[in-house]
Structure 1
Amino acid sequence: MRFVARLFTLFSLTLLLNAPAAFARSFEQIEKDKTITVATEGQFAPFNFFQGSKLTGFEVELADEIFRRLGIHVDWKVINFETLLTGLQQGRWDFVIASHAITPEREKVVLFASPHYCTGSVIITSDPAIHGVADLKDKTVAVATGTTSYDWVKANVPQVKDVKNFPQDPDARAAVQTGRADAWVTDRITATASLKTNSQGDLKILPALLYRERVAAVAAKGNEPLVDQWNKTLSALVADGTYDKLSRKWLGADYACH
């Protein structure tokens, strides 16, 4: 899995700022049509992915349940991650849920809902001498390309020996397992799922979060009524225990932003 807080580059921000604006369907229109078009990536287990031909995952089931309670059918669109927010601005879909971390850069161009899970980055290693960030001095750290992990390590571990980029997190994990890197930095949910499905070696997740991130669904600027309805229903799911059941089913723990 890739880290949920995908890197939001200056190039991506420029594309969004220059994207032609389109009129977003209001919640009143969506409610009248009883259908909402929601876009996701479809390649980011356990959040949004395919089991055979079925789109599923934590975010997919969460959105289906929220809009079901609002009396609205979800028409899912599976789109390349990098174009999700641009397409939202262009009015190609009404809503996006694809593990976007809330950042000041993104808030300039889109409207975030309340976070539907909170997470953070951790260190994974088999080196008994590594207990925290300070121990990464003169070490080689593996990260997945297109994540915030690279920038964080470069900014916060100035004496790191090297930061190696790999196409995906399994590749970064393999680099540690084969001795090409001393540690792997990624999201704790990603790390937990990865080690659960691939227990080779003696990798361990260090308990301390390097930083915390809030992850939320996204609507077009000006569509506050849609976001308000989503937020109210999400709060109801948390209150009645439905959120907890979905989170534990897909993520193994309650990741609500308490």
Structure 2
Amino acid sequence: MPFQEVAMRKVLVFLGILALGLAFAQVRTFDQIKKSGEIRIGTEGAFPPFNYFDAKNQLTGFEIDLGNAIAKKLGLKPKWIAQSFDSLLIQLGQGRFDFVIASHGITEERAKAVDFTNPHYCTGGIIVSKKGGPKTKKDLEGKVVGVQIGTTYMEAAQKIPGVRQVRTYQKDPDALQDLLAGRVDAWITDRFVAKEAIKERKLEGTLQLGELVFQERVAMAVAKGNKSVLDALNKALADLMKDGTYAQISKKWFGEDVRCR
């Protein structure tokens, strides 16, 4: 068989497998999810204290507890799937997950690709640096800033006038490591993530928190146009906020109620 024909057959087989895979990864309505008895939830697993793997390699965090509570409220078994942050919304649209809860700030750009629920917490991007380092946006002039790729923190850093370089990382802990090693002058991340990292690593005498670069509302995401799942999630979240479950989970992780006011 000629080489070209062999190559073409391999391509056709690959395309067939790809098409078959996509056929089994369709976006599901809430009725279809209920019939299956299981809801697929996408998250990152590398963003403490919101979603991360603990020492026993178990997913944990504020959003994991909240996601489990939502699944319970809906009468469904949660199936967690951890993927890199920058691929989560893409795979959501391909039907890999029924919804994503991974600290996505609501932005106009993201809202073109997915539908957001009502926010499940409010926060902001904060400047973190070594003691004596930059604390304000003006202080970042001529400095190198580390951020996680695909985040609102990256977008915010790129808009700060005078920043010499915005260096991107696949995961927040990598940006923190480079800050500690002196390879970046500052790190911009979620304010709760920064507080947790400093506390967990006992870096109170090494790092400092600066000003908030921006404030943001954070929400779960569903595939564009998937209204039945969107409505179900919004109702479950509202019920959890009303019956005290949300406040209990929030105070467990932050010592305060972090819902949007």
Aligned to 1:77: 81
Name the amino acid aligned to 2:221.
V
- TM-score normalized by structure 2? 0.77
Identical positions, percent? 43
- Report the CA distance shift for 1:169/1:86 in structure 2 as closer, same or farther (over 3 A): closer
Find the aligned partners of 1:175 and 1:93 in 2 and give their Cα distance. Answer: 32
Q: Secondary structure at the match of 2:249?
A: helix
Aligned to 2:13: none
Aligned to 2:18: none
- Report the CA distance shift for 1:172/1:238 in structure 2 as closer, same or farther (over 3 A): same
Find the aligned partners of 1:177 and 1:53 in 2 and give their Cα distance. Answer: 25
Find the aligned partners of 1:124 and 1:118 in 2 and give their Cα distance. Answer: 19
| Unpaired segments ≥5 residues, structure 2 | 1-21
**1:111 corresponds to 2:115:** yes
**8 Å Cα contact 1:143-1:149 kept in structure 2:** no
- Report the CA distance shift for 1:230/1:137 in structure 2 as closer, same or farther (over 3 A): same
Per-residue Cα deviation, 1:82-107 (whole angstroms, up to 9, x for no partner): 33223322223322222222222221
Q: 1:88 aligns with which of 84, 92, 95?
A: 92
Aligned to 1:99: 103
**8 Å Cα contact 1:116-1:216 kept in structure 2:** yes
Is the deviation greater in 88-97 or in 104-113?
88-97
Name the amino acid aligned to 2:101.
I
Find the aligned partners of 2:92 and 2:133 in 1 and give their Cα distance. Answer: 46
RMSD over aligned Cα atoms: 2.7
- Report the CA distance shift for 1:162/1:192 in structure 2 as closer, same or farther (over 3 A): same
Q: 1:222 aligns with which of 225, 232, 236?
A: 225
- Per-residue deviation, 1:57: 1.8
Specify the structure having the higher radius of gyration (Cα): 2
**1:248 corresponds to 2:227:** no
**8 Å Cα contact 1:97-1:216 kept in structure 2:** yes
**8 Å Cα contact 2:48-2:196 kept in structure 1:** no
Aligned to 1:34: 37
**8 Å Cα contact 1:127-1:182 kept in structure 2:** no
Find the aligned partners of 1:132 and 1:38 in 2 and give their Cα distance. Answer: 37
The count of residues paired between Structure 1 and Structure 2 equals: 236
Per-residue Cα deviation, 1:84-131 (whole angstroms, up to 9, x for no partner): 223322223322222222222221121211111121111223455855
Q: Secondary structure at the match of 2:212?
A: coil
Per-residue Cα deviation, 1:136-190 (whole angstroms, up to 9, x for no partner): 334x24313414434423322x233444445644444455445554433222112
Q: Secondary structure at the match of 2:225?
A: coil
Find the aligned partners of 2:48 and 2:173 in 1 and give their Cα distance. Answer: 13
**1:160 corresponds to 2:169:** no
Q: Secondary structure at the match of 2:100?
A: strand
Name the amino acid aligned to 2:30.
F
Q: Secondary structure at the match of 1:24?
A: coil
**1:62 corresponds to 2:59:** no
Name the amino acid aligned to 2:119.
P
Name the amino acid aligned to 1:189.
F
Per-residue Cα deviation, 1:171-230 (whole angstroms, up to 9, x for no partner): 444554455544332221121011112233342212x42111222111122221221121
**1:238 corresponds to 2:241:** yes
**8 Å Cα contact 2:148-2:175 kept in structure 1:** no
Aligned to 2:6: none
Find the aligned partners of 1:250 and 1:224 in 2 and give their Cα distance. Answer: 30
**8 Å Cα contact 1:96-1:218 kept in structure 2:** yes
Aligned to 1:125: 129
- Per-residue deviation, 1:28: 1.9
Find the aligned partners of 1:129 and 1:46 in 2 and give their Cα distance. Answer: 25
- Report the CA distance shift for 1:86/1:164 in structure 2 as closer, same or farther (over 3 A): closer
- Report the CA distance shift for 1:246/1:222 in structure 2 as closer, same or farther (over 3 A): same
